Structure 1
Protein backbone atom coordinates (compact mmCIF):
# COMPACT_ATOMS: atom_id res chain seq x y z
CA UNK A 1 0.00 0.00 0.00
CA UNK A 2 2.85 2.39 0.80
CA UNK A 3 4.52 1.89 -2.59
CA UNK A 4 1.21 2.21 -4.44
CA UNK A 5 0.44 5.49 -2.66
CA UNK A 6 3.95 6.81 -3.29
CA UNK A 7 3.72 6.09 -7.02
CA UNK A 8 0.27 7.68 -7.16
CA UNK A 9 1.54 10.77 -5.33
CA UNK A 10 4.46 11.16 -7.75
CA UNK A 11 2.10 10.92 -10.71
CA UNK A 12 -0.24 13.48 -9.17
CA UNK A 13 2.45 16.03 -8.34
CA UNK A 14 4.17 15.40 -11.68
CA UNK A 15 1.02 16.17 -13.67
CA UNK A 16 -0.19 19.25 -11.80
CA UNK A 17 2.24 21.50 -13.67
CA UNK A 18 0.68 20.44 -16.99
CA UNK A 19 -2.81 20.94 -15.57
CA UNK A 20 -1.86 24.51 -14.61
CA UNK A 21 -0.41 25.08 -18.10
CA UNK A 22 -3.56 23.81 -19.82
CA UNK A 23 -5.73 26.14 -17.76
CA UNK A 24 -3.71 29.33 -18.24
CA UNK A 25 -3.19 28.60 -21.95
CA UNK A 26 -6.96 28.28 -22.30
CA UNK A 27 -7.37 31.80 -20.97
CA UNK A 28 -7.94 31.31 -17.24
CA UNK A 29 -6.61 34.31 -15.30
CA UNK A 30 -3.65 32.84 -13.39
CA UNK A 31 -4.22 34.50 -10.00
CA UNK A 32 -7.97 33.90 -10.07
CA UNK A 33 -7.70 30.24 -11.06
CA UNK A 34 -5.02 29.63 -8.41
CA UNK A 35 -7.17 31.37 -5.78
CA UNK A 36 -10.29 29.37 -6.63
CA UNK A 37 -8.27 26.14 -6.50
CA UNK A 38 -6.88 26.69 -3.02
CA UNK A 39 -10.00 28.27 -1.50
CA UNK A 40 -12.16 25.32 -2.55
CA UNK A 41 -9.58 22.63 -1.71
CA UNK A 42 -8.66 24.23 1.61
CA UNK A 43 -12.30 24.74 2.59
CA UNK A 44 -13.32 21.16 1.82
CA UNK A 45 -10.39 19.61 3.70
CA UNK A 46 -10.80 21.94 6.71
CA UNK A 47 -14.55 21.23 6.93
CA UNK A 48 -13.79 17.49 6.80
CA UNK A 49 -11.22 17.80 9.59
CA UNK A 50 -13.63 19.88 11.72
CA UNK A 51 -16.38 17.28 11.28
CA UNK A 52 -13.88 14.64 12.45
CA UNK A 53 -13.17 16.88 15.47
CA UNK A 54 -9.49 17.13 14.55
CA UNK A 55 -9.50 20.88 13.93
CA UNK A 56 -11.42 24.08 14.57
CA UNK A 57 -12.40 26.95 12.29
CA UNK A 58 -10.57 29.19 14.76
CA UNK A 59 -7.41 28.29 12.82
CA UNK A 60 -8.52 30.84 10.24
CA UNK A 61 -8.12 33.74 12.66
CA UNK A 62 -4.61 32.78 13.67
CA UNK A 63 -1.92 34.97 12.15
CA UNK A 64 0.36 31.92 11.83
CA UNK A 65 -1.93 30.35 9.21
CA UNK A 66 -1.97 33.56 7.20
CA UNK A 67 1.81 33.91 7.32
CA UNK A 68 2.29 30.31 6.20
CA UNK A 69 -0.33 30.87 3.51
CA UNK A 70 1.61 33.86 2.21
CA UNK A 71 4.71 31.70 1.81
CA UNK A 72 3.51 28.24 0.81
CA UNK A 73 0.45 29.19 -1.25
CA UNK A 74 0.17 32.87 -2.15
CA UNK A 75 3.79 33.71 -2.93
CA UNK A 76 4.71 30.36 -4.46
CA UNK A 77 1.70 29.73 -6.66
CA UNK A 78 0.96 33.28 -7.77
CA UNK A 79 4.40 33.24 -9.39
CA UNK A 80 4.17 29.66 -10.75
CA UNK A 81 0.75 30.26 -12.33
CA UNK A 82 1.86 33.59 -13.82
CA UNK A 83 5.10 32.08 -15.12
CA UNK A 84 3.40 29.14 -16.84
CA UNK A 85 1.92 31.60 -19.33
CA UNK A 86 5.44 31.83 -20.77
CA UNK A 87 7.41 28.68 -19.83
CA UNK A 88 6.66 25.00 -20.38
CA UNK A 89 5.21 22.87 -17.62
CA UNK A 90 8.37 20.74 -17.62
CA UNK A 91 10.61 23.75 -17.10
CA UNK A 92 8.34 24.96 -14.30
CA UNK A 93 8.55 21.56 -12.58
CA UNK A 94 12.34 21.39 -12.75
CA UNK A 95 12.81 24.94 -11.46
CA UNK A 96 10.29 24.30 -8.67
CA UNK A 97 12.32 21.28 -7.57
CA UNK A 98 15.02 23.68 -6.33
CA UNK A 99 12.92 24.47 -3.23
CA UNK A 100 14.89 22.19 -0.86
CA UNK A 101 18.14 23.77 -2.06
CA UNK A 102 16.71 27.23 -1.34
CA UNK A 103 15.73 26.02 2.15
CA UNK A 104 19.32 24.93 2.83
CA UNK A 105 20.71 28.25 1.62
CA UNK A 106 18.13 30.22 3.60
CA UNK A 107 18.99 28.32 6.79
CA UNK A 108 22.64 29.10 6.18
CA UNK A 109 22.07 32.84 5.58
CA UNK A 110 19.29 33.61 8.08
CA UNK A 111 20.03 31.17 10.89
CA UNK A 112 23.80 30.88 10.47
CA UNK A 113 23.38 27.10 10.35
CA UNK A 114 26.56 25.21 9.65
CA UNK A 115 26.12 23.47 6.28
CA UNK A 116 27.88 20.17 5.64
CA UNK A 117 30.16 19.89 2.64
CA UNK A 118 27.85 17.31 1.07
CA UNK A 119 24.94 19.73 1.18
CA UNK A 120 27.01 22.54 -0.32
CA UNK A 121 28.15 20.27 -3.15
CA UNK A 122 24.53 19.35 -3.79
CA UNK A 123 23.56 23.04 -3.90
CA UNK A 124 26.27 23.83 -6.44
CA UNK A 125 25.26 20.87 -8.64
CA UNK A 126 21.61 21.94 -8.61
CA UNK A 127 22.45 25.57 -9.33
CA UNK A 128 24.66 24.42 -12.21
CA UNK A 129 21.67 22.45 -13.51
CA UNK A 130 19.53 25.59 -13.46
CA UNK A 131 22.24 27.48 -15.37
CA UNK A 132 22.44 24.71 -17.99
CA UNK A 133 18.64 24.81 -18.30
CA UNK A 134 18.37 28.59 -18.66
CA UNK A 135 21.63 29.93 -20.16
CA UNK A 136 21.51 28.24 -23.62
CA UNK A 137 18.00 29.60 -24.12
CA UNK A 138 19.29 33.12 -23.50
CA UNK A 139 22.04 32.68 -26.07
CA UNK A 140 19.39 31.64 -28.61
CA UNK A 141 17.57 34.90 -28.16
CA UNK A 142 14.69 33.64 -26.04
CA UNK A 143 12.17 36.40 -25.38
CA UNK A 144 12.23 38.39 -22.17
CA UNK A 145 8.96 36.97 -20.86
CA UNK A 146 10.42 33.43 -20.86
CA UNK A 147 13.33 34.64 -18.74
CA UNK A 148 10.98 36.55 -16.43
CA UNK A 149 8.89 33.40 -16.08
CA UNK A 150 11.92 31.33 -15.04
CA UNK A 151 12.99 34.04 -12.61
CA UNK A 152 9.48 34.23 -11.14
CA UNK A 153 9.43 30.50 -10.41
CA UNK A 154 12.82 30.69 -8.67
CA UNK A 155 11.66 33.68 -6.61
CA UNK A 156 8.57 31.63 -5.73
CA UNK A 157 10.81 29.01 -4.17
CA UNK A 158 12.11 31.69 -1.77
CA UNK A 159 8.52 32.21 -0.62
CA UNK A 160 8.09 28.45 -0.34
CA UNK A 161 11.30 28.00 1.65
CA UNK A 162 10.33 30.78 4.06
CA UNK A 163 6.87 29.31 4.52
CA UNK A 164 8.25 25.80 5.03
CA UNK A 165 10.76 26.90 7.67
CA UNK A 166 8.15 28.94 9.52
CA UNK A 167 5.59 26.13 9.33
CA UNK A 168 7.98 23.79 11.14
CA UNK A 169 7.87 26.13 14.14
CA UNK A 170 4.10 26.50 13.90
CA UNK A 171 3.50 22.73 13.85
CA UNK A 172 5.20 22.61 17.22
CA UNK A 173 2.94 25.36 18.63
CA UNK A 174 -0.20 23.65 17.30
CA UNK A 175 0.82 20.13 18.28
CA UNK A 176 -2.80 19.24 19.16
CA UNK A 177 -3.98 20.08 15.64
CA UNK A 178 -3.39 17.73 12.72
CA UNK A 179 -0.84 19.01 10.15
CA UNK A 180 -3.44 18.15 7.49
CA UNK A 181 -5.84 20.68 9.04
CA UNK A 182 -3.06 23.26 9.32
CA UNK A 183 -2.22 22.75 5.65
CA UNK A 184 -5.89 23.16 4.72
CA UNK A 185 -6.10 26.41 6.72
CA UNK A 186 -2.99 27.89 5.11
CA UNK A 187 -4.26 26.89 1.64
CA UNK A 188 -7.54 28.66 2.33
CA UNK A 189 -5.78 31.78 3.65
CA UNK A 190 -3.37 31.86 0.72
CA UNK A 191 -6.22 31.27 -1.72
CA UNK A 192 -8.15 34.25 -0.33
CA UNK A 193 -5.09 36.45 -0.83
CA UNK A 194 -4.75 35.19 -4.41
CA UNK A 195 -8.36 36.19 -5.10
CA UNK A 196 -7.69 39.65 -3.62
CA UNK A 197 -4.66 39.99 -5.91
CA UNK A 198 -6.80 38.89 -8.85
CA UNK A 199 -9.48 41.47 -8.03
CA UNK A 200 -6.90 44.26 -8.31
CA UNK A 201 -4.91 42.99 -11.28
CA UNK A 202 -7.07 40.85 -13.58
CA UNK A 203 -10.19 41.23 -15.68
CA UNK A 204 -12.37 38.16 -15.22
CA UNK A 205 -14.28 37.22 -18.37
CA UNK A 206 -16.92 34.56 -17.74
CA UNK A 207 -16.53 32.92 -21.13
CA UNK A 208 -12.84 32.26 -20.48
CA UNK A 209 -13.76 30.25 -17.38
CA UNK A 210 -16.35 28.04 -19.06
CA UNK A 211 -14.17 26.21 -21.57
CA UNK A 212 -13.69 22.48 -21.05
CA UNK A 213 -9.93 22.97 -20.70
CA UNK A 214 -10.31 25.47 -17.85
CA UNK A 215 -13.03 23.52 -16.04
CA UNK A 216 -11.15 20.23 -16.41
CA UNK A 217 -7.92 21.84 -15.24
CA UNK A 218 -9.56 23.30 -12.14
CA UNK A 219 -11.35 20.11 -11.16
CA UNK A 220 -8.14 18.11 -11.57
CA UNK A 221 -6.06 20.57 -9.54
CA UNK A 222 -8.64 20.92 -6.76
CA UNK A 223 -9.59 17.27 -6.32
CA UNK A 224 -6.51 15.36 -7.48
CA UNK A 225 -3.69 17.89 -7.05
CA UNK A 226 -4.61 19.59 -3.77
CA UNK A 227 -6.93 17.17 -1.94
CA UNK A 228 -5.74 13.72 -3.01
CA UNK A 229 -2.05 14.54 -3.52
CA UNK A 230 -1.51 16.35 -0.21
CA UNK A 231 -3.59 13.85 1.76
CA UNK A 232 -1.46 10.99 0.42
CA UNK A 233 1.69 12.96 1.26
CA UNK A 234 0.71 13.41 4.90
CA UNK A 235 -0.45 9.77 5.12
CA UNK A 236 2.99 8.68 3.92
CA UNK A 237 4.72 10.97 6.43
CA UNK A 238 2.65 9.45 9.25
CA UNK A 239 3.23 5.86 8.10
CA UNK A 240 6.89 6.03 6.99
CA UNK A 241 9.14 9.06 7.52
CA UNK A 242 9.54 12.55 6.02
CA UNK A 243 12.42 11.49 3.76
CA UNK A 244 10.56 8.80 1.84
CA UNK A 245 7.50 10.82 0.67
CA UNK A 246 9.72 13.84 -0.05
CA UNK A 247 11.46 11.77 -2.72
CA UNK A 248 8.66 12.81 -5.06
CA UNK A 249 10.83 15.86 -5.74
CA UNK A 250 13.38 13.59 -7.41
CA UNK A 251 10.85 11.85 -9.65
CA UNK A 252 7.99 14.21 -10.48
CA UNK A 253 10.02 16.70 -12.60
CA UNK A 254 10.86 13.90 -15.04
CA UNK A 255 7.19 12.90 -15.10
CA UNK A 256 6.25 16.52 -15.80
CA UNK A 257 8.77 16.84 -18.64
CA UNK A 258 7.65 13.53 -20.19
CA UNK A 259 3.91 14.21 -19.87
CA UNK A 260 4.31 17.73 -21.24
CA UNK A 261 6.21 16.42 -24.25
CA UNK A 262 3.86 13.51 -24.98
CA UNK A 263 0.49 15.12 -24.31
CA UNK A 264 1.12 18.81 -24.93
CA UNK A 265 3.89 18.78 -27.54
CA UNK A 266 6.26 20.77 -25.34
CA UNK A 267 9.77 20.95 -26.77
CA UNK A 268 12.48 19.01 -24.93
CA UNK A 269 16.08 19.94 -25.72
CA UNK A 270 19.32 18.26 -24.70
CA UNK A 271 20.02 21.26 -22.47
CA UNK A 272 16.72 20.73 -20.68
CA UNK A 273 17.50 17.05 -20.11
CA UNK A 274 21.03 17.73 -18.84
CA UNK A 275 19.86 20.63 -16.67
CA UNK A 276 17.03 18.56 -15.22
CA UNK A 277 19.31 15.64 -14.37
CA UNK A 278 21.90 17.93 -12.76
CA UNK A 279 19.26 19.76 -10.73
CA UNK A 280 17.79 16.53 -9.37
CA UNK A 281 21.21 14.94 -8.74
CA UNK A 282 22.17 17.98 -6.66
CA UNK A 283 18.91 17.69 -4.77
CA UNK A 284 19.59 14.02 -4.00
CA UNK A 285 23.15 14.71 -2.87
CA UNK A 286 22.03 17.50 -0.54
CA UNK A 287 19.01 15.81 1.00
CA UNK A 288 19.53 12.06 1.33
CA UNK A 289 20.70 11.96 4.93
CA UNK A 290 18.65 9.24 6.63
CA UNK A 291 16.90 9.92 9.88
CA UNK A 292 18.45 8.13 12.82
CA UNK A 293 16.28 5.30 14.15
CA UNK A 294 17.70 5.95 17.63
CA UNK A 295 16.58 9.57 17.44
CA UNK A 296 13.12 8.49 16.28
CA UNK A 297 12.84 6.04 19.18
CA UNK A 298 13.79 8.84 21.58
CA UNK A 299 10.96 11.03 20.33
CA UNK A 300 8.46 8.17 20.45
CA UNK A 301 9.58 7.36 24.00
CA UNK A 302 8.58 10.91 24.95
CA UNK A 303 5.03 10.11 23.85
CA UNK A 304 5.07 12.17 20.66
CA UNK A 305 2.51 11.38 17.98
CA UNK A 306 3.69 10.24 14.52
CA UNK A 307 2.85 13.74 13.18
CA UNK A 308 4.99 15.36 15.86
CA UNK A 309 7.84 12.89 15.24
CA UNK A 310 7.60 13.74 11.56
CA UNK A 311 8.02 17.41 12.43
CA UNK A 312 11.11 16.71 14.53
CA UNK A 313 12.53 14.60 11.69
CA UNK A 314 12.32 17.50 9.28
CA UNK A 315 14.57 19.59 11.51
CA UNK A 316 17.54 17.48 10.55
Structure 2
Protein backbone atom coordinates (compact mmCIF):
# COMPACT_ATOMS: atom_id res chain seq x y z
CA UNK A 1 0.00 0.00 0.00
CA UNK A 2 1.30 3.42 -0.94
CA UNK A 3 0.27 6.75 0.44
CA UNK A 4 -0.63 9.55 -1.92
CA UNK A 5 1.16 12.93 -1.74
CA UNK A 6 -1.98 14.37 -0.14
CA UNK A 7 -2.14 11.73 2.56
CA UNK A 8 -2.72 8.02 3.09
CA UNK A 9 -4.85 6.09 0.63
CA UNK A 10 -8.32 4.96 1.61
CA UNK A 11 -7.16 1.34 1.39
CA UNK A 12 -4.28 2.00 3.80
CA UNK A 13 -6.63 3.71 6.24
CA UNK A 14 -9.16 0.87 5.96
CA UNK A 15 -6.55 -1.84 6.59
CA UNK A 16 -5.01 0.00 9.55
CA UNK A 17 -8.40 0.75 11.11
CA UNK A 18 -9.63 -2.83 10.55
CA UNK A 19 -6.49 -4.25 12.15
CA UNK A 20 -6.89 -2.09 15.24
CA UNK A 21 -10.64 -2.73 15.45
CA UNK A 22 -10.30 -6.53 15.48
CA UNK A 23 -7.03 -7.04 17.35
CA UNK A 24 -7.47 -4.42 20.04
CA UNK A 25 -11.07 -5.42 20.55
CA UNK A 26 -9.84 -8.90 21.47
CA UNK A 27 -7.04 -7.69 23.74
CA UNK A 28 -9.51 -6.84 26.51
CA UNK A 29 -10.40 -10.54 26.72
CA UNK A 30 -6.72 -11.52 26.70
CA UNK A 31 -5.91 -8.98 29.43
CA UNK A 32 -8.75 -10.30 31.58
CA UNK A 33 -7.35 -13.84 31.26
CA UNK A 34 -3.77 -12.71 31.91
CA UNK A 35 -4.50 -10.72 35.09
CA UNK A 36 -6.31 -13.70 36.59
CA UNK A 37 -3.02 -15.60 36.68
CA UNK A 38 -0.36 -12.89 36.91
CA UNK A 39 0.03 -9.48 38.62
CA UNK A 40 -1.17 -6.77 36.20
CA UNK A 41 1.88 -4.52 36.00
CA UNK A 42 4.31 -7.46 35.88
CA UNK A 43 2.40 -8.97 32.97
CA UNK A 44 2.21 -5.63 31.16
CA UNK A 45 5.94 -5.01 31.63
CA UNK A 46 6.83 -8.47 30.27
CA UNK A 47 4.49 -7.95 27.34
CA UNK A 48 5.91 -4.60 26.27
CA UNK A 49 9.53 -5.52 26.95
CA UNK A 50 9.16 -8.57 24.69
CA UNK A 51 7.34 -6.64 21.98
CA UNK A 52 9.83 -3.77 22.15
CA UNK A 53 12.82 -6.07 21.71
CA UNK A 54 11.17 -7.85 18.76
CA UNK A 55 10.39 -4.57 17.02
CA UNK A 56 13.86 -3.11 17.61
CA UNK A 57 15.49 -6.25 16.18
CA UNK A 58 13.23 -6.11 13.13
CA UNK A 59 14.13 -2.46 12.63
CA UNK A 60 17.84 -3.26 12.76
CA UNK A 61 17.57 -6.31 10.48
CA UNK A 62 15.65 -4.28 7.89
CA UNK A 63 18.22 -1.47 8.22
CA UNK A 64 15.68 1.20 9.00
CA UNK A 65 16.96 4.70 9.66
CA UNK A 66 18.09 4.96 13.25
CA UNK A 67 16.21 7.57 15.26
CA UNK A 68 17.85 10.67 16.64
CA UNK A 69 17.81 11.34 20.36
CA UNK A 70 14.99 13.84 19.92
CA UNK A 71 12.93 11.32 17.93
CA UNK A 72 13.61 8.58 20.48
CA UNK A 73 12.51 10.92 23.27
CA UNK A 74 9.31 11.70 21.37
CA UNK A 75 8.52 8.02 20.92
CA UNK A 76 9.23 7.39 24.58
CA UNK A 77 6.91 10.19 25.64
CA UNK A 78 4.08 8.80 23.54
CA UNK A 79 4.80 5.37 25.02
CA UNK A 80 4.35 6.73 28.53
CA UNK A 81 0.93 8.16 27.66
CA UNK A 82 -0.21 5.04 25.82
CA UNK A 83 1.30 2.28 27.94
CA UNK A 84 1.90 3.58 31.46
CA UNK A 85 -1.14 5.83 31.73
CA UNK A 86 -3.38 4.06 29.22
CA UNK A 87 -2.65 0.34 29.33
CA UNK A 88 -1.49 0.48 32.94
CA UNK A 89 -4.90 1.72 33.99
CA UNK A 90 -6.65 -0.93 31.92
CA UNK A 91 -4.73 -3.93 33.25
CA UNK A 92 -5.14 -2.78 36.84
CA UNK A 93 -8.88 -2.15 36.47
CA UNK A 94 -9.55 -5.48 34.74
CA UNK A 95 -8.75 -7.21 38.00
CA UNK A 96 -12.12 -5.90 39.19
CA UNK A 97 -14.16 -5.19 36.03
CA UNK A 98 -15.26 -7.35 33.12
CA UNK A 99 -13.40 -7.09 29.82
CA UNK A 100 -16.49 -5.65 28.17
CA UNK A 101 -16.88 -3.00 30.84
CA UNK A 102 -13.24 -1.96 30.45
CA UNK A 103 -13.67 -1.57 26.70
CA UNK A 104 -16.88 0.41 27.15
CA UNK A 105 -15.29 3.00 29.41
CA UNK A 106 -12.30 3.28 27.08
CA UNK A 107 -14.71 4.27 24.32
CA UNK A 108 -14.75 7.79 25.77
CA UNK A 109 -11.27 8.38 24.29
CA UNK A 110 -12.43 10.21 21.11
CA UNK A 111 -14.57 12.55 23.19
CA UNK A 112 -11.51 13.54 25.21
CA UNK A 113 -9.51 14.00 22.01
CA UNK A 114 -12.07 16.49 20.71
CA UNK A 115 -12.18 18.35 24.03
CA UNK A 116 -8.38 18.57 24.33
CA UNK A 117 -7.91 19.47 20.65
CA UNK A 118 -10.46 22.27 20.91
CA UNK A 119 -8.66 23.67 23.96
CA UNK A 120 -5.22 23.75 22.33
CA UNK A 121 -4.01 26.82 20.39
CA UNK A 122 -4.25 26.06 16.68
CA UNK A 123 -5.82 22.69 17.33
CA UNK A 124 -7.94 21.08 14.62
CA UNK A 125 -11.64 21.80 14.84
CA UNK A 126 -13.78 18.82 13.81
CA UNK A 127 -16.68 19.24 11.42
CA UNK A 128 -20.24 19.31 12.68
CA UNK A 129 -20.95 15.77 11.49
CA UNK A 130 -17.78 14.48 13.18
CA UNK A 131 -18.79 16.17 16.42
CA UNK A 132 -22.30 14.74 16.18
CA UNK A 133 -20.84 11.32 15.39
CA UNK A 134 -18.60 11.46 18.44
CA UNK A 135 -21.52 12.49 20.63
CA UNK A 136 -23.61 9.67 19.15
CA UNK A 137 -20.84 7.20 19.87
CA UNK A 138 -20.70 8.34 23.47
CA UNK A 139 -24.48 7.90 23.66
CA UNK A 140 -24.06 4.38 22.31
CA UNK A 141 -21.55 3.65 25.04
CA UNK A 142 -24.10 4.94 27.52
CA UNK A 143 -26.65 2.47 26.15
CA UNK A 144 -24.17 -0.34 26.69
CA UNK A 145 -23.05 0.62 30.14
CA UNK A 146 -26.28 1.92 31.70
CA UNK A 147 -27.93 -1.42 32.61
CA UNK A 148 -24.78 -2.57 34.40
CA UNK A 149 -24.44 0.66 36.32
CA UNK A 150 -28.14 0.64 37.17
CA UNK A 151 -28.11 -2.89 38.56
CA UNK A 152 -24.77 -2.46 40.30
CA UNK A 153 -23.94 -6.13 39.75
CA UNK A 154 -21.55 -5.64 36.87
CA UNK A 155 -20.47 -2.04 37.39
CA UNK A 156 -17.56 -2.93 39.60
CA UNK A 157 -15.79 -0.67 42.07
CA UNK A 158 -16.21 3.01 41.38
CA UNK A 159 -12.49 3.64 41.77
CA UNK A 160 -11.69 1.10 39.03
CA UNK A 161 -14.06 2.95 36.70
CA UNK A 162 -12.37 6.25 37.54
CA UNK A 163 -8.97 4.69 36.78
CA UNK A 164 -10.27 3.52 33.40
CA UNK A 165 -11.60 6.99 32.64
CA UNK A 166 -8.18 8.45 33.48
CA UNK A 167 -6.63 5.84 31.18
CA UNK A 168 -8.88 7.05 28.36
CA UNK A 169 -7.69 10.62 28.93
CA UNK A 170 -4.08 9.39 28.81
CA UNK A 171 -4.76 7.65 25.49
CA UNK A 172 -6.25 10.87 24.13
CA UNK A 173 -3.20 12.85 25.23
CA UNK A 174 -0.88 10.31 23.62
CA UNK A 175 -2.82 10.52 20.37
CA UNK A 176 -2.45 14.30 20.25
CA UNK A 177 1.15 14.42 21.48
CA UNK A 178 2.13 11.82 18.88
CA UNK A 179 1.23 14.29 16.14
CA UNK A 180 3.15 17.18 17.65
CA UNK A 181 6.53 15.74 18.58
CA UNK A 182 9.37 14.39 16.49
CA UNK A 183 9.21 10.59 16.31
CA UNK A 184 11.29 8.02 14.39
CA UNK A 185 10.50 7.73 10.69
CA UNK A 186 10.64 3.94 11.11
CA UNK A 187 7.40 2.54 12.50
CA UNK A 188 9.37 -0.40 13.92
CA UNK A 189 11.78 1.79 15.87
CA UNK A 190 9.02 4.18 16.84
CA UNK A 191 6.82 1.44 18.28
CA UNK A 192 9.78 -0.47 19.71
CA UNK A 193 11.06 2.50 21.69
CA UNK A 194 7.57 3.32 22.94
CA UNK A 195 7.17 -0.27 24.12
CA UNK A 196 10.53 -0.39 25.90
CA UNK A 197 10.02 2.95 27.66
CA UNK A 198 6.47 2.04 28.66
CA UNK A 199 7.57 -1.41 29.85
CA UNK A 200 10.34 0.06 32.00
CA UNK A 201 7.90 2.49 33.61
CA UNK A 202 5.41 -0.33 34.23
CA UNK A 203 8.17 -2.49 35.73
CA UNK A 204 8.98 0.33 38.12
CA UNK A 205 5.31 0.62 39.03
CA UNK A 206 5.20 -3.15 39.61
CA UNK A 207 8.21 -2.87 41.92
CA UNK A 208 6.59 -0.01 43.81
CA UNK A 209 3.48 -2.16 44.28
CA UNK A 210 5.59 -5.13 45.41
CA UNK A 211 4.36 -7.33 42.55
CA UNK A 212 7.72 -8.80 41.54
CA UNK A 213 8.26 -10.33 44.97
CA UNK A 214 4.83 -11.94 45.00
CA UNK A 215 4.96 -13.71 41.63
CA UNK A 216 4.99 -17.51 41.88
CA UNK A 217 6.17 -18.28 38.36
CA UNK A 218 5.57 -22.03 38.60
CA UNK A 219 1.97 -21.37 39.61
CA UNK A 220 1.16 -19.08 36.68
CA UNK A 221 -1.40 -20.98 34.55
CA UNK A 222 -0.70 -21.71 30.89
CA UNK A 223 -3.76 -19.66 29.93
CA UNK A 224 -2.07 -16.53 31.31
CA UNK A 225 1.10 -17.24 29.32
CA UNK A 226 -0.86 -17.81 26.10
CA UNK A 227 -2.80 -14.61 26.72
CA UNK A 228 0.46 -12.74 27.29
CA UNK A 229 1.91 -14.17 24.06
CA UNK A 230 -1.16 -13.05 22.11
CA UNK A 231 -0.98 -9.59 23.65
CA UNK A 232 2.71 -9.34 22.78
CA UNK A 233 2.55 -10.42 19.13
CA UNK A 234 -0.86 -9.18 18.07
CA UNK A 235 -1.73 -6.48 20.58
CA UNK A 236 1.68 -4.81 20.77
CA UNK A 237 3.70 -5.66 17.66
CA UNK A 238 0.88 -5.59 15.11
CA UNK A 239 -1.91 -3.60 16.73
CA UNK A 240 0.24 -0.89 18.29
CA UNK A 241 2.19 -0.44 15.03
CA UNK A 242 -1.10 0.09 13.22
CA UNK A 243 -2.37 2.65 15.71
CA UNK A 244 0.99 4.46 15.67
CA UNK A 245 0.66 4.78 11.90
CA UNK A 246 -2.88 6.09 12.34
CA UNK A 247 -1.76 8.67 14.90
CA UNK A 248 0.71 10.12 12.39
CA UNK A 249 -1.43 9.86 9.25
CA UNK A 250 -5.07 10.32 10.29
CA UNK A 251 -6.99 12.99 12.14
CA UNK A 252 -7.03 12.38 15.91
CA UNK A 253 -10.76 11.63 16.06
CA UNK A 254 -10.39 9.10 13.21
CA UNK A 255 -7.32 7.51 14.79
CA UNK A 256 -9.32 6.91 17.95
CA UNK A 257 -12.48 5.52 16.34
CA UNK A 258 -11.23 2.09 17.41
CA UNK A 259 -12.55 3.05 20.83
CA UNK A 260 -16.07 2.92 19.37
CA UNK A 261 -15.70 -0.48 17.68
CA UNK A 262 -13.56 -2.22 20.29
CA UNK A 263 -16.36 -2.33 22.88
CA UNK A 264 -18.62 -4.27 20.51
CA UNK A 265 -15.84 -6.77 19.81
CA UNK A 266 -14.83 -6.98 23.48
CA UNK A 267 -18.39 -7.45 24.74
CA UNK A 268 -19.07 -10.19 22.19
CA UNK A 269 -15.86 -12.07 23.01
CA UNK A 270 -16.39 -11.65 26.75
CA UNK A 271 -19.88 -13.09 26.44
CA UNK A 272 -18.65 -15.97 24.27
CA UNK A 273 -15.57 -17.05 26.22
CA UNK A 274 -16.05 -15.69 29.74
CA UNK A 275 -19.86 -15.79 29.85
CA UNK A 276 -20.12 -12.08 30.57
CA UNK A 277 -23.75 -10.90 30.29
CA UNK A 278 -25.00 -9.96 26.81
CA UNK A 279 -28.23 -7.96 26.81
CA UNK A 280 -30.48 -6.39 24.19
CA UNK A 281 -29.13 -2.97 25.13
CA UNK A 282 -25.66 -4.24 24.26
CA UNK A 283 -26.70 -5.07 20.71
CA UNK A 284 -28.48 -1.74 20.33
CA UNK A 285 -25.52 0.19 21.70
CA UNK A 286 -23.14 -1.61 19.36
CA UNK A 287 -25.27 -0.63 16.35
CA UNK A 288 -25.26 3.02 17.46
CA UNK A 289 -21.49 2.88 17.87
CA UNK A 290 -20.92 1.56 14.33
CA UNK A 291 -23.15 4.34 12.96
CA UNK A 292 -21.13 6.87 14.94
CA UNK A 293 -17.87 5.61 13.43
CA UNK A 294 -19.35 6.04 9.95
CA UNK A 295 -20.35 9.62 10.74
CA UNK A 296 -16.92 10.50 12.11
CA UNK A 297 -15.15 9.12 9.04
CA UNK A 298 -17.55 10.71 6.53
CA UNK A 299 -17.22 14.03 8.31
CA UNK A 300 -13.44 13.92 7.91
CA UNK A 301 -13.07 13.21 4.19
CA UNK A 302 -11.09 16.38 3.61
CA UNK A 303 -7.96 15.51 5.47
CA UNK A 304 -5.82 18.26 6.96
CA UNK A 305 -2.05 18.09 7.01
CA UNK A 306 -0.93 16.76 10.41
CA UNK A 307 0.93 19.12 12.68
CA UNK A 308 4.60 18.22 12.84
CA UNK A 309 7.96 19.86 13.60
CA UNK A 310 10.09 21.08 10.71
CA UNK A 311 12.79 18.59 11.71
CA UNK A 312 10.55 15.63 10.87
CA UNK A 313 11.08 13.87 7.53
CA UNK A 314 8.37 11.57 6.24
CA UNK A 315 9.74 8.51 4.43
CA UNK A 316 7.86 6.24 2.05
Q: Deviations for 1:142-198, whole angstroms, at most 9, x for unmatched residues?
A: 47744333332222111111111111122xx34x62133212211210111001000
Task: Give me the TM-score of the superposition, normalised by structure 1.
Answer: 0.78
Give the CA deviation at 1:40. 1.2
2:206 pairs with one of 190, 198, 203: 198
Structure-2 separation of matches of 1:288 and 1:99: 19
Note the aligned Cα RMSD (angstroms): 3.4
Structure-2 separation of matches of 1:150 and 1:166: 24
Judge conservation of contact 2:175–2:247 (CA < 8 Å) in 1. no
Aligned residue-pair number: 293
Structure-2 separation of matches of 1:163 and 1:84: 21
Please list every run of 5 or more consecutive structure 1 residues that lacks an aligned counterpart in the other structure: 297-303, 308-316
- Counterparts in 2 of 1:290 and 1:247: CA distance versus 1, 3 Å: same
Give the CA deviation at 1:274. 3.3
Q: Which residue of 2 aligns with 1:189?
A: 197
Say whether residues 1:225 and 2:224 are aligned partners.
no
Q: Which residue of 1 aligns with 2:158?
A: 147
Judge conservation of contact 2:86–2:167 (CA < 8 Å) in 1. yes
Say whether residues 1:73 and 2:83 are aligned partners.
yes
Say whether residues 1:16 and 2:27 are aligned partners.
yes
Give the CA deviation at 1:225. 1.7
Q: Which residue of 2 aligns with 1:310?
A: none
Say whether residues 1:216 and 2:226 are aligned partners.
yes
Matches within 5 A, 1:59-208: 59=69, 62-111=72-121, 113=123, 114-142=125-153, 145-170=156-181, 173-174=182-183, 177-203=185-211, 204-207=214-217
User: Which sits farther off after the overlay, 88-97 or 194-203?
Assistant: 88-97
Q: Which residue of 1 aligns with 2:271?
A: 261
Task: Give me the TM-score of the superposition, normalised by structure 2.
Answer: 0.78
Judge conservation of contact 1:98–1:279 (CA < 8 Å) in 2. no
More helix by percentage: 1
Give the CA deviation at 1:46. 1.5
Judge conservation of contact 2:38–2:220 (CA < 8 Å) in 1. no
